[in-house]
Amino acid sequence: MRGKVRENGNILLVANYESGVGFAWWLMENFWVEIARYFSGKGRKVFLMYPIITSIPKNILSAPVTILNHDFSDRSFIGKRGLKNIIAVNGIKSIYLTDRPYWDVYYLLLRKWGVENIVLHDHTPGERPKSPAYKRMIKKFIYMLGVLSCDLYIGVSRFVYERFIATGCLPHRKCRYVLNGIVPIDLDQRYRFYAHDEFNIPRDARIIISTGRATKYKGIDFILKCADKIINGLNEKKVFFLHCGAGPDLMMFRKMACDYGIENNFIFAGMRDDIPKLLQSCDIGIQASLGEAFSLSILEYMSAGLAAVVPDNCGNGEAITTGLNGMLYKPGDLEEATNILNNLIHDEDKIKYLGSNATISVREKFNIKRTNEELIQLLSEHL
């Protein structure tokens, strides 16, 4: 399916958060820069609209994109009038959205105001229940109308693509997916004991690392339970867990570590800007999220040569082939996850085998360069 390919008309990129927000939005910033470079080279102007402007990332400042300040989610009369004016004054004909509704009455207004192409890139996590028959009929009718929906839906994994169709009831012809990617980590033996020295961990100890926001959704409580089983249950006192990331549940997790009596072996490092160095000095990377569209943390573990241990849910199986470049466990199965971790702790050769294959996987399949090329090729046909 090809959209209305335009040779003129400008493009609006819509940010959902203020300009200074980090987290995984570095990936979206990367996409915005690539889109701006490509389409500005075709003689089209690209605008990036933030709801709030604080500090602007350097890569955005150096890109051929014009920054605008307006909240796309503002449905008030003033908000609608402001967006309508932005579209008219700047000659906007195409809009690129991220993690927005699959259908929305607002899309009809956008088309009335002159927008011809709407693209939605979906990174949202989680599995969704299948809709009952009557809801599927309603959704299909809405999408048949066209004006209330987008022209193209891009998933970050095949899992999201299948979710589009199975639970979103979107037309196949409007759906595509481009696998997420990262900048491969440059491995450097100088960082072999970086985390050990940074956190005063014995150099002969195993380190199991996790990264991400400190929330229950990310499964940090599950990782703490694994740590309790290994450190206390199996008496593995030379195993240390390291979590990098801040979040609303951090204090609760710290208390859990104390309650388990593992606070000396479970380190909460908070937000870090040296993740690549830390990863290279660890042995195993664990993830326990309730569901990611396509986890960047897992790709980072793999790129650093770690043995990744992750739940077999959502898009994880698209990155990990268990026993080849990582290990999958049944989501929520504490015994299976603990057994996998314990076996790896005592098998240096298996860690190296999984890590070596994982590094190759990221370099060849989950490289951000490939992701950008595939995304731009797709957008060149629809914006």
Q: Is the pLDDT of residue 24 over 80?
A: no
Q: Which residue's entry shows tokens 């599995």? A: 127
**Average per-residue pLDDT in the chain?**
94
- For 10-181+368-379, CATH number out of 3.40.190.10, 3.40.50.720, 1.10.1520.10, 3.40.50.2000 equals 3.40.50.2000
In angstroms, the CA 362 to CA 174 distance is 28
- DSSP string for residues in 59-122: HHHTSS-EEEE--TT--SHHHHHHHHHHHHHTTEEEEEEES--SB-HHHHHHHHTT--EEEEEE
Q: Is the pLDDT of residue 345 over 70?
A: yes
Same-fold call for 10-181+368-379 versus 189-364:
yes
Q: Is residue 214 within 8 Å of 182, Cβ to Cβ?
A: no
Residue 268: per-residue pLDDT: 98
* Cβ neighbours for 168, distance < 8 A, ≥ 6 positions apart: 102, 128, 139, 153
Instruction: Tell the burial category of 202 from Cβ atoms under 10 Å away from its Cβ (0-12, 13-18, 19+).
Output: exposed
Residue 21: per-residue pLDDT: 75
Task: Classify the C-alpha dihedral 20-22-24-26 as positive or negative.
Answer: positive
Q: Quick one: average pLDDT of 258-285?
A: 97
In angstroms, the CA 320 to CA 354 distance is 10
Residue 1: per-residue pLDDT: 47
Q: Quick one: average pLDDT of 4-30?
A: 82
In angstroms, the CA 26 to CA 238 distance is 35
Q: ∠62-64-70 over CA atoms, to 5°?
A: 95
3-class DSSP state of 256 = helix
Q: Quick one: average pLDDT of 224-230?
A: 98
- For 189-364, CATH number out of 3.40.50.1820, 3.30.70.1400, 3.30.70.270, 3.40.50.2000 equals 3.40.50.2000
pLDDT digits (tens, 9 = 90+) for 189-198: 999 999 999 9
pLDDT digits (tens, 9 = 90+) for 51-75: 999 999 999 999 999 999 999 999 9
Residue 3: per-residue pLDDT: 47
Best CA proximity match to 299, nearest among 20, 18, 26: 26
The domain segmentation of the chain, as residue ranges, is 10-181+368-379, 189-364
Q: Quick one: average pLDDT of 288-307?
A: 96
Residue 128: per-residue pLDDT: 78
Q: Is the pLDDT of residue 206 over 60?
A: yes
Q: Residue 167 carries which side chain, given as an amino acid letter?
A: T
Q: Is the pLDDT of residue 175 over 70?
A: yes
In angstroms, the CA 342 to CA 108 distance is 55
pLDDT digits (tens, 9 = 90+) for 90-131: 999 999 999 999 999 999 999 999 999 999 999 999 887 777
Least confident of 14-23, 101-110, 158-167, 354-363: 14-23
Q: Quick one: average pLDDT of 28-40?
A: 97
Q: Quick one: average pLDDT of 147-162?
A: 96
Residue 144 or 298, more confident: 298
Q: Is the pLDDT of residue 7 over 70?
A: no
Q: Quick one: average pLDDT of 6-22?
A: 86
Residue 22: per-residue pLDDT: 60
Residue 129: per-residue pLDDT: 78
